[in-house]
A and B are shown apart, each in its own frame.
Chain A
């Protein structure tokens, strides 16, 4: 079938962002002194993409011979990823300050990684999802090593690449086995063969391999080993993008392959996923306790949150899926905001990353400290912040599926996590400052931090804003 104009319109957000990225490549070659314009070009491109995504939102359809979804769920994620991109670019102040990093490539890679995320969020075919995943991952491998003169960045990049390539192998092998047993890679076509298809062991193995591939990308225990090192070595803004967008897109694909078509009703798979969730919540939070480096700590926290998100998948009901979407938005915004603060305090690559460097931040930089504590309280899940509503939803879905034990574990680990989140606040507020170092923020950074904070508060007080959108995708 020849693609129609409607097909192109359906994927307009993806097209817009990729053409802006390509445009930047051209501008970079033609104009030597064009550096300062790149962030504006990228942001306007992302805003146009958001416009198209909102425009498409109402009409859910399939395009390009059932390769891509558009509208609804796909638009939702397109908007989320564009917002993540805008926040990242707005916060990239420390990147802009240093000539070595301030190159067009930085912007271009970010845009391409967002294209990859958007494809993952709208894939209706295992191949499309794989394509998106690879596009995003390759951009991340390069971005992780962007501070190329530093050993830690090189280590991060190489480690991420090697382990990532290995995981991709699992993913592809899984797709191959699923194709072998079902004769198709289209998600909806596979779903039509449920549940009989699960009686073929090879098919189940295929799904397990697929699960391992995704588990690596969302950093589930025991596939989380790369997270602390990569998060620590990458530039902080990039880390923020990986922790929010990278995780959210992998979860989008996770939902698409495992939950959307019919909902996983295969008990063995659910059993495996629930054990992964438990291990992830425990390991993430317990290892988080021991960290002194704030990026590593946030890395373990992001592992733990992948565990909470998985609880929604385990309960496999509509409340759980809605909870995942809601939580992903909150988690992404909070994480990117927290990493933003870290990047402003860091100032220069690799400095001021220890928790002691946050002593007395509330005296020297009250705004940054307030934003950071808001993020921490939201990650703990304390009302009236948005993180609470997200956790409430995920746990409510588990209760609905009669999985009280997993809720108890989730809550136990939340209590463990209290300690390391609170420790940052202890240092910021209760300790005397070491230096009177006033950090000057640009307007862009302030806009980004204020936007995130307002969102965290607003969605905590009035969650219906987002929930009424999310509930449309999953009805019983």
Chain B
């Protein structure tokens, strides 16, 4: 019995939120509180399963684990295939960790259509976990796209003033990108069918074994198909314009999930598909992608600096932070990849927490303008303390999580043989300083100084519920900062695998081509 549970643990984890959805559909619309509890309990239950998954995961095994596959279409090789490695595992944990927190955070702030909201949040969780566990590109694509629907509704129904514009922009950007990926997937499936004894397949491992047969020019096109789609999701400069709109208009829970997990799906895709499937194309285009990443780091930071809206500031800071992650992935050394994966988690935690805090502030004052605040340290000290810790973590203060990730990325990319010039890393480093500038400046204007307006002195400090949902995040922020190896050791093998693949393929390129 237990053995069977262990074999199917991924499937159970993936569909466990659906149980909650089914229960929710049976309950009347009016039972608001009950509906919310069902959602929270379901997501906590999913989190417990993922903890169990972490416990039985074998860190020393470098291959994919808990593999399970069921054919979906018989005569072409398209199937329900799941399996995880360390990279997937940390992101699954991040997802299942953040979902209950967002549901608890919206306990008071979501007042209309609670049932639909909870259903969409749980469906979103299914989609996100699905993306991280799929080992069949068809299945991956299904989850990747399916996840758009709940997010579209979450921004569109519970969003701010300009929600319709934001949500349609989000939908069209993402969909346009992913259709490019669909063409690439179709092409590869068909290429597999043309091999001797071949069959149309979208199996990740089978494709991995034949991609080196694809002509180089086409590899580059396929690589672009995948990478543009992921780059939109990350978002990489200059495809980032949907992000600030979506973030500003989304409700707090939507922003947290968007920043915490959805953006990671882009970087996950880069690390899982773009690099291992098309290493040679990746090497050839590294310079361009790294340039965009570094431009994104600096651009995001500079734009953040001039924002007057706190939420928008945090949104643009995501562009900057994710630039680091992309830099680390394409640097493709073991340190930089480890750093990138860790930084994905870090960004999910600290930016998620920042959005939560901004949301709490908004619930109290119904404003996010920096100029409306000031002197909060005196009126709401507990809030200010949490805000400070999270701000420092986002900047990358040593001892907190952000530092470890950024440090590893910078060290790794400085030594990378794939990056043509050390200047990239040097410029990227300036992003660290800039982030300190915009975050601390914002923090100083909001929290310190004199209490500028009467209403600010009457704000209520955090409630127990709010403290309760911030503390777990803070624990992880400090934990990763002080003892990162708990998390780094999960992903060591994944990073090593990617680096080995890259190094193998660079040996295959003949020296003439490299010098060109």
Contact = CB atoms under 8 A, between A and B. Distances in A.
Interface of A: 377, 382-384, 388, 392, 395-396, 399-400, 404, 407-408, 411, 414-415, 418-419, 422, 425-426, 429-430, 462-464, 467-468, 471
B186 A462 contact: no
A404 B187 contact: yes
B156 A429 contact: yes
A384 B130 CA distance: 12
B237 to A, nearest CB: 22
Interface in B156-189: 156-157, 163-164, 167-168, 171-172, 175-176, 179-180, 182-183, 186-187, 189
B162 to A, nearest CB: 11
Given A382-B148, A384-B142, A429-B156, A464 B74 contact: yes
B175 A418 contact: yes
A295 B186 CA distance: 34
Contacts of A404: 183, 187
B129 to A, nearest CB: 14
A353 to B, nearest CB: 22
Contacts of A467: 73-75
Given A396-B190, A407-B183, A414-B179, A388 B153 contact: no
Contact of B157 (A395, A407, A414, A429): A429
Contacts of B75: 467, 471
B172 A415 contact: yes
A281 to B, nearest CB: 14
Contact of A430 (B73, B156, B187, B189): B156
- Pick the 3 closest A-B CB pairs, nearest first: A383-B142, A411-B179, A399-B186
Contacts of B187: 399, 404
B146 interface: yes
A415 B177 CA distance: 10
Given A400-B193, A426-B168, A464 B183 contact: no
Contacts of B74: 464, 467-468, 471
B141 interface: yes
A422 B168 contact: yes
Contact of B186 (A396, A464, A468): A396
Nearest to B191: A399
B145 interface: yes
B149 interface: yes
A404 B187 CA distance: 9
A373 to B, nearest CB: 8
A42 B369 CA distance: 65
A419 B74 CA distance: 34
Contacts of B146: 382-384
Nearest to A463: B73
A462 B141 contact: no
B200 A396 contact: yes
Contacts of B182: 392, 395, 411
Interface in B40-89: 71-75
8 contacts: A404-B183, A404-B187, A411-B182, A415-B175, A415-B179, A425-B156, A464-B72, A464-B74
Interface in B113-164: 138, 141-143, 145-146, 148-149, 152-153, 156-157, 163-164
A384 B150 CA distance: 12
B72 A407 contact: no
Contacts of A462: 72
Contacts of B186: 392, 395-396, 399, 407
Nearest to B194: A400
Contacts of A430: 156-157, 163-164, 167
A252 B167 CA distance: 39
Contacts of A395: 182-183, 186
A414 B73 CA distance: 24
B171 A418 contact: yes
Contacts of B145: 382-383, 388
Interface in B177-219: 179-180, 182-183, 186-187, 189-190, 193, 200
B72 A399 contact: no
A422 B189 contact: no
Nearest to A426: B164
B142 A388 contact: yes
A383 B73 contact: no
A429 B172 contact: no
A471 B176 CA distance: 30
Contacts of A463: 72-73
A426 B172 CA distance: 14
A425 B73 CA distance: 31
A369 to B, nearest CB: 10
A384 B14 CA distance: 15
A436 to B, nearest CB: 15
Nearest to A416: B172
Given A388-B142, A418-B172, A399 B179 contact: no
B168 to A, nearest CB: 6
A438 to B, nearest CB: 14
A415 B157 CA distance: 22
A70 to B, nearest CB: 25
A388 B152 CA distance: 18
Contacts of A400: 190, 193, 200
Given A399-B189, A430-B167, A467-B73, 14 more contacts: A382-B148, A382-B175, A384-B146, A396-B186, A396-B189, A396-B200, A399-B187, A399-B190, A408-B183, A418-B172, A422-B152, A422-B171, A430-B157, A430-B163
Given A383-B146, A419-B168, A429 B153 contact: yes
A392 B143 CA distance: 15
A419 B187 CA distance: 27
B118 to A, nearest CB: 15
Nearest to A475: B75
B175 to A, nearest CB: 6
Contacts of B190: 396, 399-400
B390 to A, nearest CB: 31
A425 B116 CA distance: 15
Contacts of B200: 396, 400
A464 B73 contact: yes
Nearest to A471: B75
A382 B193 CA distance: 25
A376 to B, nearest CB: 10
Nearest to B200: A396
Nearest to B71: A464
A313 to B, nearest CB: 18
B124 to A, nearest CB: 14
A388 B148 CA distance: 14
A447 B75 CA distance: 33
A418 B172 CA distance: 7
B161 to A, nearest CB: 12
Nearest to B176: A415
Given A383-B146, A404-B187, A418-B172, A426 B156 contact: yes
User: Which of A383, A395, A462 neighbours the largest number of chain B CB atoms within 10 Å of its CB?
Assistant: A383
B380 to A, nearest CB: 33
Contacts of A399: 183, 186-187, 189-190
Nearest to B177: A415
Nearest to A462: B72
Contacts of B193: 400
Contacts of B142: 383-384, 388
B33 to A, nearest CB: 20
A411 B72 CA distance: 24
Contacts of A414: 179
A462 B139 CA distance: 12
User: Which of A422, A430, A467 neighbours the largest number of chain B CB atoms within 10 Å of its CB?
Assistant: A430
A382 B143 CA distance: 10
A464 B70 CA distance: 12
A396 B78 CA distance: 12
A335 to B, nearest CB: 20
Given A399-B183, A399-B186, A426-B168, A377 B73 contact: no
Nearest to B148: A382
B116 to A, nearest CB: 8
A464 B182 CA distance: 20
